[in-house]
Amino acid sequence: MNEKIFRKMQKSRSISGKFNEFDVWLFIAVFFISSFVFFISAGSYILFFQEQQHLFVYLPDFLSKFFVKPGGPLELAGEFFTQFYFSTLTGSIILSLILSLPAVVLHFVNRRLKTGNLYSIVLLLIPSLALFLMQSHYYHTMTYNLGYLLVLLYFLFASSSESRKVQVATLIIYPLFYYITGAYAFIFAGLYIIYTLFYSKGIRKLYYTLLIAALTGVLLIVSESKIFLIPLKQLLTYPLPSVNNTTHRYLTVFLNGFVILYPAVSYVPGSWKTMKPALKILRYAIPAFIYILAGIMLITRYNPDVARVINLEKLVFDEKWSEAVTYYEKYPSRNLIGQYFYNVSLTETDQLCERMFFSHQDFGVKSLFLPWDDEHLNWGSHVFYAIGLINEAHRWAYEELVVYGYRPHNLKMLVKTNIINGNSRMAKKYIGILKKTLFYKRWAEDYEKFTVDTTSIKTDPVLGKKIEIMPHDNFFIFLDSPEENLPLLVESNPGNRRAFEYLMAWLLLSKDVETAVMNIPKMKELGYTKLPRHIEEAVMIYYNSKRVMPDMKGLAVSYATTERFSRYVATYSALRQRAALTKDKMESEFGNTYWFYFHFY
Please report, as ranges, the residues that interact with another protein according to CB under 8 A: 59-61, 225, 229-231, 371-373, 377, 389-392, 395, 398-399, 401-403, 405, 420-423, 425-426, 429, 432-433, 436, 470-477, 479-480, 485, 488-489, 492
* Closest approach of another protein to the CB of residue 17, in Å: 54
Cα dihedral 453, 459, 465, 467, rounded to 10, equals 40
- Tell me how far, at minimum, the Cβ of 391 lies from another protein, in Å: 6
Judged by beta carbon, residue 401 or residue 552, the one nearer another protein is 401
* Shortest Cβ 431–another protein spacing (Å): 11
Closer to another protein by Cβ: residue 468 or 512: 468
Our CB check for another protein shows the closer of 337 and 488 to be: 488
Query: Please, what is the Cα angle at 455 between 451 and 456, to 5 degrees?
Result: 75
Of 53 and 266, which has the nearer Cβ to another protein? 53
Cβ at position 395, least distance to another protein in Å: 6
Closer residue to another protein in complex, CB, 3/473: 473
Whole-number minimum distance, CB 425 to another protein, in Å?
4
- Smaller CB distance to another protein: residue 125 or 420? 420
Buried-exposed string 463-488: b where 16+ CB fall within 10 A, e elsewhere: beebbebbbeeeeeeeeeebbebbeb
In 3D space, the residue among 229, 224, 122, 237 whose CA is nearest the CA of residue 187 turns out to be: 237
CB within 8 Å of 59: residues ≥ 6 apart: 433, 436
Nearest residue to 360 (alpha-carbon basis) of 344, 381, 380, 343: 343
Compute the least distance from the CB of residue 241 to another protein, in Å: 21
Distance between CA atoms of residues 106 and 155, nearest Å: 9
- Cα–Cα dist 272/279, whole Å: 10
In sequence order, which residues have a C-beta less than 8 Å from that of residue 259 and are 6 or more positions away? 127, 148, 151, 152, 187, 191
Nearer to another protein, 111 or 436 (CB): 436
CB of 104 to another protein, least distance (A): 38
Give the helix ranges, DSSP H, for 200-281: 204-222, 232-237, 246-267
Residue whose CB is less far from another protein, 90 or 391: 391
For residue 139, the minimal CB distance to another protein (Å) is 19
Which residue, 225 or 588, has its beta carbon nearer to another protein? 225
- Rounded to a whole number of angstroms, the minimum distance from the CB of residue 478 to another protein is 9
Distances (CA, A) of 97 to 35, 288, 369, 381, 586: 9, 20, 41, 36, 51
Inter-residue contact 105 to 156 (CB < 8 Å)? yes
Per-residue three-class SS string for 489-525: HHHHCCCCHHHHHHHHHHHHHCCCHHHHHHCHHHHHH
Neighbours of 198 (CB within 10 A): 16
